[in-house]
């Protein structure tokens, strides 16, 4: 009982597995040659020989021989009278052959001929309107799609998906290489050792290979490839406060002196103020040497002169 139940379970499992379609079925390309696949057979040839087939002549007395008679071939016969009868016809001439009491001569108009069975050959010619053709890889066109993913080299998480690349190639171009350039998303850069572009290679044998990244999809959708670029995040640096350097102070430009027209110069000069100078005491007691007083007197004179000149200048400026 247990064996029967086990056998039933195994049978059901086999039926279920057999009903599941295989997703790894070979991708079929689109036929672009415009020709039907065709191989010539016997039905593509016709007998074109004009000689009737006559493999051999018949036996004497058959269809290839004619009976020789006095009426039909009088030249082969002679009449011989007999003493006790009217006479008989005697055959004496020609290449006739006797079979029993009759004579036959060869009269077949046909030559010996047997049709050559070779196709094509002397007797058979190709009359098929179809071109003999067997599909080759170049007769097919294969559509492909390459998906591009950007993978964080540290966490292995997908950080972005690139625009898929679509295209097609013919079987005679197989293996076909597709260049995939990296368009690294903002905030990331290619990981150390990562290169761009990468090459996705597709084959007409329906086995696209690129490292371990390319996979295959259902046959109605062509070939699907996958290329991964490994990236790392760019460290974020806080904004820096930039203090501008103080600009050098501009060099002062001297103001040009304004020329006063002669007519505007005042003609009346201010009266000079007479400053009374202090009298130098002359009654210096005599000490017997007066040379030490001369420098003192000179200094008083210079101070007075400087004071007068300063006062005059201030009056002019006013």
What is the Cα–Cα distance from 212 to 228, expressed in whole angstroms? 10
User: What CATH number has the domain spanning 137-233?
Assistant: 2.60.40
User: What is residue 150's predicted lDDT score, i.e. its pLDDT?
Assistant: 94
What is the Cα–Cα distance from 154 to 252, expressed in whole angstroms? 62
Quote the pTM value. 0.43
Give 136: exposed, middle or buried? Use CB within 10 Å, 0-12, 13-18, 19+.
Answer: exposed
Residue 124, SS3 per DSSP: strand
pLDDT digits (tens, 9 = 90+) for 63-117: 899 988 888 888 888 888 887 778 888 887 677 888 888 889 888 988 899 988 8
Q: What does the domain layout of the chain look like in residue ranges?
A: 137-233
C-alpha atoms less than 13 angstroms from C-alpha of 262 in its C-beta half-sphere? 0
Cβ atoms 33, 139 nearer than 8 A: yes
Residue pLDDT tens, the chain, 318 long: 455 555 555 444 433 334 333 222 344 578 888 888 999 999 999 999 988 888 888 888 888 999 888 888 888 888 888 877 788 888 876 778 888 888 898 889 888 999 888 888 889 999 999 989 998 888 888 888 999 999 999 999 999 999 999 999 988 888 889 999 999 999 999 999 898 899 888 887 644 333 333 333 333 336 788 889 998 888 877 776 677 777 777 777 777 666 666 555 555 555 555 555 555 455 545 555 555 667 667 777 777 777 777 766 666 665
Residue 172, SS3 per DSSP: helix
**Beta strands in 220-317, from DSSP E residues, in sequence order:** 223-233
User: What is residue 289's predicted lDDT score, i.e. its pLDDT?
Assistant: 52
């Amino acid at each position: 009982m247990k064996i029967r139940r086990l056998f039933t379970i195994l049978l059901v499992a086999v039926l279920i597995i057999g009903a599941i379609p295989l997703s790894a079925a070979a991708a079929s390309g689109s036929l672009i040659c415009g020709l039907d696949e065709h191989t010539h057979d016997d039905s593509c040839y016709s007998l074109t020989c004009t000689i009737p087939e006559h493999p051999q002549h018949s036996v004497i007395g058959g269809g290839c021989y004619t009976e020789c008679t006095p009426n039909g071939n009088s030249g082969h016969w002679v009449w011989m009278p007999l003493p006790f009868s009217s006479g008989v016809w005697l055959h004496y001439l020609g290449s006739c052959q006797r079979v029993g009491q009759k004579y036959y001569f060869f009269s077949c108009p046909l030559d010996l001929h047997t049709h050559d069975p070779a196709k094509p050959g002397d007797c058979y010619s190709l009359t098929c309107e179809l071109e003999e053709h067997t599909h080759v890889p170049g007769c097919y066109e294969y559509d492909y799609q390459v998906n591009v993913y950007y993978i964080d080299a540290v966490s292995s998480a997908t950080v972005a998906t690139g625009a898929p690349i679509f295209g097609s190639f013919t079987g005679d171009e197989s293996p076909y290489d597709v260049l995939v350039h990296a368009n690294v998303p903002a905030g990331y850069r290619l990981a150390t050792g990562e290169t761009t572009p990468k090459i996705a290679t597709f084959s007409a044998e329906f086995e696209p290979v690129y490292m371990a990244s390319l996979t295959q999809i259902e046959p109605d959708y062509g070939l699907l490839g996958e290329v991964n670029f490994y990236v790392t995040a760019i460290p974020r640096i806080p904004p820096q406060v930039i203090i501008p350097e103080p600009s050098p102070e501009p060099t002062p430009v001297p103001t040009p002196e304004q020329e006063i027209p002669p007519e505007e110069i005042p003609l009346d000069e201010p009266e000079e103020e007479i400053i009374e100078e202090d009298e130098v005491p002359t009654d210096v007691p005599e000490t017997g040497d007066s040379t030490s007083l001369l420098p003192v007197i000179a200094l008083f004179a210079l101070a007075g002169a400087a004071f007068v000149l300063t006062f005059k200048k201030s009056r002019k400026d006013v």
